[in-house]
Structure 1
């Protein structure tokens, strides 16, 4: 077993030995051993539940048309059906030690020192597979999968915690599963889909899904739970805060406009987690969820953190133009018809037609054909897009974006510099970038590399040593403990943070 000669001697382990604070990895992916989980689920709910899992996994992993996935279709069929190119070879394979590590809990636990981590949050690759099952099986299957993972990793809980998959099809279903996962299984982190695809009712009523399945497949929209949802998800967010659960998501956008190539997976992949998570986060912000639940902590993983800074900057910029005060610059009632008429009299010789118009007619003409369309007076919160979010000052934006959201960045992601650029970010803040190695996926061929790759960003001047500490320790620690102050109680982290100052909320 010569491969084990690397144990505890990796470059990441050497860097870890120089740090006076722990390293918290917020995003580790593990593989389930199929015979074991299927046996568990069969015992839990019978053979039909196993069949439901297999169907849900197949549906999640493959984009199908006419019953065949991309790899079963000819080029002509892909073009005809516009079948989106799906991922392939998405797991580590040549590195056999790592392949086994992501499958065997005890081995991963043993190799954490080699990885350079003190504590890791685990995301089994099929933890949300049950969300693709039919409504008759979805809830029971999700509960069985969560139960399996809780039992499998319980004895390693001093350094590992596994997430609970939470279906979000309805608030009630989500509440029931969260309650069971926390109170019965002892799980501490929720992993949710960042959106739920729902039928457009006007089309579904005309073309019922059971009669027109192909139309139903495309006649849909995505419900992001916070803005324009057909359900009130506030009871779920309230339960999350009550139970002290940090919420995570890896929500992607492959298949969306611009990400629907029928031939190129990379075209569909690059940036898709950032786009999907951005849609989700903006829905919570503009829907007022982060206003109503200031204790809610949400981490969006695998998309990097630069988009968190990008949206924050643009929220502030847009608010200065589209606040109640700023909107008055575009209020057609405030156009001075007398002044406009005088200016046309003085400078309008090129337009003799204006001479036959009254002041009111001239004003409407200059405003253009869009005047009637854009001059209707909105009612209540319709007047201001920032109304539901309760934004009165840019400090409110900071409090409801920067404090509420955390952004998972992979170790070699140089765009993380934007998160820590307090000169560009309004009010001089730094965005909550959190260390998310993503080991277990194709992004990381060797699990011993990520921490060292992150330190390379310090060596190259991309981020500072203080930023590095925030990235691998302080921000992850804030994320979990602001949601649940006792999150690390009884873990290997608890004794290591007694004398370390951790900044809490971003304030003025």
Structure 2
């Protein structure tokens, strides 16, 4: 039987691409591995016994324990309801596209896309596997598998390498293998590692698995990850992340998966972004940039403004000058209480206390240096926040996410119109999320993005930054040859020459 595949000669997205005249780079296209082939690779890496263990405990399978529990158990354990039916199944062609590299390569033109960074399903999950032996074997297997199957299509597609980071050492080892042996040039790190809180381990494994803290590799981390960041710089790769926060505190509805899904990528990305910023990673590694996929860019604009606001109201000098309990004029305060307090305070003036800061000297940091919580980030003025943030963080945004307007609203964003204006956008860029339920038609990606300019949600100039300039900027920041041999090599060289 021959299946009729409806393939328009030229989609609207392809027509728009021709009209725009510049390359469109999609930084987040999802694909699905062909499991039997992946298992062959895993067997080569870890042996038959490990493959059997893998099949019994597939990555992400813990999400589905909800289905095995009774309603009583779900509420007793507060098991968050997972997503379901995550693939675009109505159109067979679109479904096949996400799992066949040759077909995806052929159809990028229909999407109006010149080049795409690919995030395979299992690769996004592998770094979060708890068991070290399994985690490292699966990462090695999927990285080798994807390097092999996408190599013939490298002119338009490049897959990410899955890099585990439970320790900096395991991250460095897999990074070196992925880049130096497999030739991969894009990577994905986990957004965090769930670590047990030591004080609760005495209550047993079941409690320890639930009572955890989130290690985001920067502020207050279990390890010093500077050796890993340095290795990224050395090997010229940009860390990107695609992390989920479903199951965290407020993302834990037992009955409603949409409640758990909304903003969960943004929450996880924001936690990592804050950790990198306040932990001083962007201060110590001025060459290094980071990208956060699928969470949109509105949270990035909000976080940027919020950090500046907190610095202006909570920097060390401001606190010492305006909030230090030691500067209270106690005599004047008592006089005011006496004059206006009447019977409310009569006979109890000696009780004036914590609410007004009287006893907060007892709570002051032993080391005055601890007042400066911006010290690691190297912040001495608000312009430093701008530089540590805008020069380092990029935000993957879907083609129909109109909230991208917040990233490009330079009138509202701090320093948006100052210091050249053009460079002060929040660095949002296209991450279509093709291959998932929310992108039922890959050929609509460019048309969706262009419609935002048509509706004047963003300008034509902003659109170019979104679709082309920001991705070029990100991926050539460490590796100027990132696009060598691809369909966008000429545009990348022109961009680099014009910097």
Same fold (TM over 0.5): yes
CA, structure 1 residues 289+314, in 2 after alignment: closer, same or farther (shift >3 Å)? same
Match of 1:405 in 2: 393
Which of the numbers 183, 186, 194 marks the counterpart of 2:183? Answer: 186
Match of 1:490 in 2: 485
Which of the numbers 235, 240, 248 marks the counterpart of 2:240? Answer: 248
Distance 2:311 2:189 in 1: 30
Q: Is the 8 A contact 2:114 2:488 kept in 1?
A: yes
Match of 2:100 in 1: 104
Q: Which moved more, 1:366-375 or 1:120-129?
A: 366-375
Aligned-CA RMSD value: 2.1
Q: Is the 8 A contact 1:8 1:113 kept in 2?
A: no
* Unaligned 5+ runs, structure 1: none
In the alignment, structure 1 residue 451 sits paired with structure 2 residue 446: yes
CA, structure 1 residues 403+55, in 2 after alignment: closer, same or farther (shift >3 Å)? farther
CA, structure 1 residues 367+456, in 2 after alignment: closer, same or farther (shift >3 Å)? same
Shift of 1:424: 0.7
Match of 2:149 in 1: 152
Distance 1:373 1:266 in 2: 46
Map 1:401-480 onto structure 2 (within 5 A): 401-428=389-416, 429-480=424-475
Distance 2:33 2:384 in 1: 43
Q: How many residues align?
A: 489
Match of 2:421 in 1: none
In the alignment, structure 1 residue 40 sits paired with structure 2 residue 41: yes
Distance 1:75 1:375 in 2: 46
Match of 1:314 in 2: 306
Q: Is the 8 A contact 1:25 1:436 kept in 2?
A: yes
Q: Is the 8 A contact 1:128 1:167 kept in 2?
A: no
Q: Is the 8 A contact 2:185 2:237 kept in 1?
A: yes
- Alignment TM-score, normalising by the size of structure 2: 0.93
Match of 2:419 in 1: none
Match of 1:31 in 2: 32
Match of 2:353 in 1: 365
Q: Is the 8 A contact 1:474 1:503 kept in 2?
A: no
* Unaligned 5+ runs, structure 2: 417-423
Distance 2:136 2:345 in 1: 72
Deviations 1:86-138 (A, max 9, x none): 11101121211011111111111111111110000001100144331522332
Distance 2:220 2:262 in 1: 28
Which of the numbers 121, 143, 154 marks the counterpart of 1:125? Answer: 121
CA, structure 1 residues 160+380, in 2 after alignment: closer, same or farther (shift >3 Å)? farther
Distance 2:123 2:248 in 1: 23
- Alignment TM-score, normalising by the size of structure 1: 0.91
Distance 2:76 2:324 in 1: 49
Which of the numbers 75, 91, 108 marks the counterpart of 2:87? Answer: 91
Shift of 1:200: 0.8
Q: SS of 1:198's equivalent? A: strand
Deviations 1:46-82 (A, max 9, x none): 212323433453x414336xxxx22233323322332
Q: Is the 8 A contact 2:483 2:492 kept in 1?
A: no
